[in-house]
Amino acid sequence: MKTEDKKLDEIRHSLAHLLAAAVLDEFPDTLLGIGPTIDNGFYYDLKFKKPISPEILKSLEEKIRRYIKASLPFSGEKITSTKAKKLFKDQPFKLELINEFSKEGKDLTIYHTWSKEKNIHLGKHVTCNMSHSACFIDLCRGGHVKNTSEINPDGFKLSHLAGAYWRGDEKNPQLTRIYGLAFKTKKELDEYIEMFEEAKRRDHKKLGYELDLFTFSNLVGAGFPLFTPRGTIVRDLLDSFVWELRREAGYERVDIPHITKKELYETSGHWEKFQDELFKIKTREGHFFAMKPMNCPHHAQIYARKQQSYRDLPQRYASTTKVYRDEQTGELSGLARVRSITQDDAHVFCRLNQVEEEIGKIWHIIDTFYGSFGFELNVRLSLRDEKQKEKYLGSDESWKKAEKALKKIMEDKKAFDKDRVDIGGAAFYGPKIDFTAKDSIGREWQIATIQLDVNQPERFDLSCINEKGGKERIVMIHAAIMGSIERFMATLIEHTAGLFPLWLAPTQIRILPISDKFTKYAESIKEELQSHNLRVDLPSADETLGKRIRQSEIEKIPYIIVVGEKEQKEKNISIRSLVSKEQNTETLKDFIEKTEKLIKEKKS
RNA sequence: GCCAGCGUAGCUCAGAGGCAGAGCAGUGCUUUCGUAAAGCAAAGGUCGUGGGUUCAAUUCCCACCGCUGGCUCCA
């Protein structure tokens, strides 16, 4: 969504300056961080002397609007580092940047905004030109409007406050970030706000409660979702779908315990890297165990149980199982980020020359699975950051080999795009192909990943006996489809706004008799539908029909069957569809046939 | 973990240093209804938890737990 609109970028960038000027005017001893543009507007990081609250946004916004209406000019100039240091002598964050830029030999530019009018006050942190009654100067590479009159005073809005570490490093002081939305017109701003409101309406935390899919308990703890009967139906169906696709690709199910000796992770390399995130357990005999935070080492131990022949490769192990990670509480969020994560995890143990075919199979499963929900997929190649080799395991040679293999597969698939390469995005044991999905309201989510691992086979000494009778090192492919069932459910709920496809709906059909007099007929219909493995319910008729329909719509039940005297006499049913809101009368037989077909095709 | 905001009934929310409030949901009774909210009644609370200040704290202060938005992190 990055804007390529230069003008819009200039507007946003200018607004960031005006925001800083307004803040300095109101809170003169505030320290300035940086104020860049972002996808939907801009922000400015500031260090306030005293904590501030969101109420100040309104008055700052008004002040900025006055600046805009006063038609203030912007102009830039190149300056020496000596002069810059003098100008920003009271701004330590700016001084840090100045020192850095001059060390790197970059040009230093400053941008002025000024006013000659007495009633306009711009935050003044430097002495300005005598002929100006007010001016604001910021260190900045430029990209501004020439005059604030080019900015639509109704096209922006200061949206919220947040904490943010200086330069994104948690060891640095934390600044207060003021976010602003900005567009060229009020209409575009309103549309954006409406999109945001729509996203809020679709919030899976809210819908999860309304649809009775999952819950959290203070006694169980933060980040540990509990799934209701309805939510569990959805989980199981999703998992079965993935399993069907995997079985066709030759996968086998394996089962593993959730606790392991820490030695397993010392061997795999996870202990050193992730021990802070492990839930640790000490036994009564004083041994250390951990809740498993991933499944690969367990699967690797199943592979390692015996000497394997090249004839038996690839071996493809799949488990749907929970892993546990001691995430920082501040990172938890509904189902999107939890501490007990159900992974639909699989690992393929194969020779390097089998990688291409195996990845092709996984790719196909991902396409089928996500395609069936109408997600639009994008692919990205995540590689090791050569400058931070210490963050990764394994030799240069093995990384080179693995990265080359993945790149080739993507090129063959015509899916390689050099703009979609994430340097530093690799897993610590190998490069990966990451899939992102665009949902129905245009948001992009990180979903499946295929990771090629040349390191754990090394660490666990995984090999096969090849044609020549020699021991040959194998590779491992990590292939989760949903990744985390929890996170996938969150994505799916927000993508569908809770309106699941028919095959996935916890209750597919609700039968509503007009009155109790027709309950018997309704029950016969229920039995018939259940005999076709359809998920049906039949609530009692002690509320008005209108109320019961309303309730069913809120619960997002795909089909409502209404039966009364007419239907009973004519031996048919009246059907109301959630998607079309239309009503049809047809025979039960036709309805069942149609429904079964939709379910088989996984359509709505 | 850090910054900011928040925590009152199952849900959405009002209130205030001195008897705890509403709507919806739930329960009981009445109603038996034709495609998005029938009526009546009773009930429902350690005002997140613990400590402090006060004659008195759900309200003010502190700590913890939890939630939201960000930051950092995300095998």
* CA-derived radius of gyration, chain A: 30
3-class SS string, A16-63 = HHHHHHHHHHHCCCCEECCCCEECCEEEEEEECCCCCCCCHHHHHHHH
Please state the φ and ψ torsions of residue A573, each to the nearest 5 degrees: -135, 155
Q: How many CB atoms lie within 10 A of CB A604?
A: 18
pLDDT given at position A509: 97
Classify residue A396 by burial, with Cβ atoms within 10 Å: 0-12, 13-18, 19+: exposed
Q: Is A169's CB less than 7 Å from nucleic acid strand B?
A: yes
Say if A6-195 and A502-600 have the same CATH topology. Answer: no
Task: State the nucleotide closest to A273 in CA–C1' terms.
Answer: B75
Structure tokens at A98: 């100045």
Burial string for A112-147 (b: 16+ CB within 10 Å, else e) reads bbbbeeeebbbbbbbebeeebbbbbbbbbeeebbeb
With a cut of 70, list the residues of chain A below it in pLDDT. 1-4, 124-133
Q: A43, A18 in Cβ contact below 8 A? A: no
Q: Is A173's CB less than 7 Å from nucleic acid strand B?
A: no
214-233 on A, CB < 7 Å from strand B: 216, 218, 221-223
Structure tokens at A529: 């539908």
Q: At a CB cut-off of 8 Å and minimum separation 6, what does A496 contact? A: A373, A440
pLDDT given at position A388: 82
Q: Nearest residue to B37, CA vs C1'?
A: A547
Q: At a CB cut-off of 8 Å and minimum separation 6, what does A320 contact? A: A239, A242, A243, A342, A343, A344, A345, A485
Helix (H) or strand (E) holding A464: strand A463-465
The ipTM (two decimal places) reads 0.93
In angstroms, how far is B35 C1' from A239 CA? 35
Residue A183 DSSP class? -
In angstroms, how far is B42 C1' from A386 CA? 72
Structure tokens at A12: 């946003």
- Of A480, A515, A433, A23, the residue nearest A251 (C-alpha): A480
Q: Is A547's CB less than 7 Å from nucleic acid strand B?
A: yes
Per DSSP bridges, beta strands A509-513 and A376-383 are unpaired
Task: State the nucleotide closest to A548 in CA–C1' terms.
Answer: B36
The response to whether A478 counts as a known ligand-binding position is yes
CATH number of the structural domain A206-496? 3.30.930.10
Q: Given its phi and psi angles, is residue A286 left (phi above 0), alpha (psi -120 to 50 degrees) or beta?
A: left
| Dist CA A435 CA A423 (whole Å) | 15
In angstroms, how far is B70 C1' from A384 CA? 28
Q: How many CB atoms lie within 10 A of CB A328?
A: 10
| Dist CA A560 CA A548 (whole Å) | 10
Residue A427 DSSP class? B
In angstroms, how far is B2 C1' from A171 CA? 10
In angstroms, how far is B21 C1' from A544 CA? 29
250-279 on A, CB < 7 Å from strand B: 270, 274, 277-278
Q: A40, A160 in Cβ contact below 8 A? A: no
Structure tokens at A364: 């196909």
Q: Is A567's CB less than 7 Å from nucleic acid strand B?
A: yes
| Dist CA A572 CA A588 (whole Å) | 6
Structure tokens at A108: 């230093």
Residues of A acting as catalytic residues: 296, 325, 343, 345, 347, 432, 478
Q: Is A8's CB less than 7 Å from nucleic acid strand B?
A: no
Task: State the nucleotide closest to A167 in CA–C1' terms.
Answer: B71
Q: Is A174's CB less than 7 Å from nucleic acid strand B?
A: yes
pLDDT tens, A312-333? 999 999 999 999 999 999 999 9
**Would you say how long chain A is, in residues?**
604
The response to whether A347 counts as a known ligand-binding position is yes
Task: State the nucleotide closest to A343 in CA–C1' terms.
Answer: B75
pLDDT given at position A418: 83
Helix (H) or strand (E) holding A12: helix A6-26
- Of A453, A487, A241, A485, the residue nearest A343 (C-alpha): A485
C-alpha to C-alpha distances, A455 to A164, A267, A427, A451, A584, nearest whole angstrom:
35, 11, 11, 11, 60
- The amino acid at A300: A
Nucleotides of B under 7 A from a protein CB: 1-5, 11-12, 25, 30-38, 48, 65-75
C-alpha to C-alpha distances, A489 to A147, A368, A369, A373, nearest whole angstrom:
48, 17, 13, 12
End-to-end CA distance of chain A: 30
pLDDT given at position A396: 86
Per CATH, domain A6-195 is 3.30.980.10: yes
Beta strands in A530-587 (DSSP E): 536-537, 559-563, 573-577, 583-586
Structure tokens at A572: 């048919």
Domain spans of chain A, in order of start: 6-195, 206-496, 502-600
pLDDT given at position A365: 96
Task: State the nucleotide closest to A545 in CA–C1' terms.
Answer: B33
In angstroms, how far is B30 C1' from A544 CA? 14
468-527 on A, CB < 7 Å from strand B: 478, 514-517
Q: A39, A84 in Cβ contact below 8 A? A: no
pLDDT tens, A377-414? 999 999 988 888 878 888 888 888 889 889 999 998 88
Q: Hey, what CATH topology would domain A502-600 get?
A: Rossmann fold (3.40.50)
Q: At a CB cut-off of 8 Å and minimum separation 6, what does A362 contact? A: A249, A348, A450, A477, A479, A481
Q: Is A541's CB less than 7 Å from nucleic acid strand B?
A: yes
Q: At a CB cut-off of 8 Å and minimum separation 6, what does A524 contact? A: none
Q: A394, A414 in Cβ contact below 8 A? A: no
Long-range contacts for A389-392 (Cβ within 8 Å, ≥24 apart)? A391/A428, A392/A426, A392/A428, A392/A429
Task: State the nucleotide closest to A323 in CA–C1' terms.
Answer: B75
- The amino acid at A62: E
- The amino acid at A555: E
Helix (H) or strand (E) holding A451: strand A444-453
